[in-house]
Amino acid sequence: MSDGHLTPTEAPTHKDPSVAAVSGCVPTESTQIASAKPPKSATGSTKGSWQANLNLDFCKGPSKTFVHRSHVGPLTMQRPFYPEGRTCHVTVLHPPGGVVSGDRLLTKVNVRPGAQAVMVTPGATKHYRARDAADHSEAANTAGHVLQDMTINQGALEWLPNESIHFNGSDTHIDTRFHLQGDARLIALDVQVFGRTAGTQPFVSGRADVSLSVFRENTPLLLDRLRVSGQGFNTSAAGLRGHTVYGTLVATHATDDLVERVRSQVTPNRVPGEENNNDELFAVTRIDELLLVRYLGHSSENALHLLRLTRSIIRKPVIGQAHYSPRVWKT
């Protein structure tokens, strides 16, 4: 539990001068979510729901990127590690393992000039059936909220979470925002799964409101919103067309050549070990500086495979780093 102050997760050694002194890596007001102790109700479970904040501030040091952390409630991170040298790899943890009615999870990320960060999650985020009025709790009939707000100021961020699974009857709002400044670089994944992919419990009731936004210098580059409510949208031609998995990859610094490379090297029928790929849709396009990749199908494994394969192709031209798979993907 944070004491309300931003402290280094990994302090420099005596051989590495103070990051604050060398690079001005001092938390600013804009990055302080928990600058004062929160009310008691926000420090954990509130009558059956979780209220949690996680604040990460990535700063360029003399030899690697450091991260400062502040958190409230059950949303935190593992100790960062550096398999590539200067790039900081962070695994975001939510020990309760899922989101239910009334939960409010806020992740705030700030990537400073020259800093490079890779963020992953250890597994799927699960959104469970919403409580109804008969539950008699404050969380009844209240959607779970997940807000992820990230600012990249002339740095580089790869946001690579695992899938979000919406179980039948769940009610969740997910809002992910990226604010780019200067020559900021970004690769981000988003995979949404509706119901159990085995088909035993399809998503026929409940709500999911999923937003993905990218801004550069306050100008919107992408305003993407998916609203799923009931079976009609799931089966309509203007909706999911009967599919249960929807995936997106977005990346900056796109070129026509990069689009053609992805189109020629990534196709659904190249997914190993899968036989039924004929019903899958996979598309690659460019919107101004953004590379936008879409997946629509029935397999979260396929979606993740295709989007991660795309990332392996574009990482060097977009981020400036050779391909490297996060360690958690290998477990």
Q: Where do the structural domains in the chain lie, given as residue ranges?
A: 51-249
The single-letter DSSP state of residue 188 is E
What's the pLDDT score for residue 5? 31
Contacts of residue 64, Cβ cutoff 8 Å, sequence gap at least 6: 82, 85, 86, 87, 88
* pTM for the structure as a whole: 0.83
Q: Enumerate the β-bridge partners of residue 67.
A: 58
The pair of three-digit structure tokens given for residue 205, joined into one six-digit string: 């009731």
One digit per residue, the tens of pLDDT, for the chain of length 331 reads: 333 333 333 333 223 333 333 345 654 433 333 332 333 344 444 456 778 999 999 999 999 999 999 999 999 999 999 999 999 999 999 877 788 888 999 999 999 999 999 999 999 999 888 766 444 345 445 788 999 999 999 999 999 999 999 998 899 999 999 999 999 999 999 999 998 766 577 888 888 999 999 999 999 999 999 988 866 666 666 667 778 899 999 999 999 999 999 999 998 765 555 545 557 899 999 999 999 999 999 889 999 999 999 999 999 999 999 999 998 898 7
What's the pLDDT score for residue 160? 98
Give CA–CA dist 40/33, Å, rounded: 16
Q: Enumerate the β-bridge partners of residue 81.
A: 89
* HEC per residue, 248-307: EEEECCCCHHHHHHHHHHCCHHHCCCCCCCCCCEEEEEEECCEEEEEEEECCHHHHHHHH
What's the pLDDT score for residue 272? 54
Give CA–CA dist 75/70, Å, rounded: 10
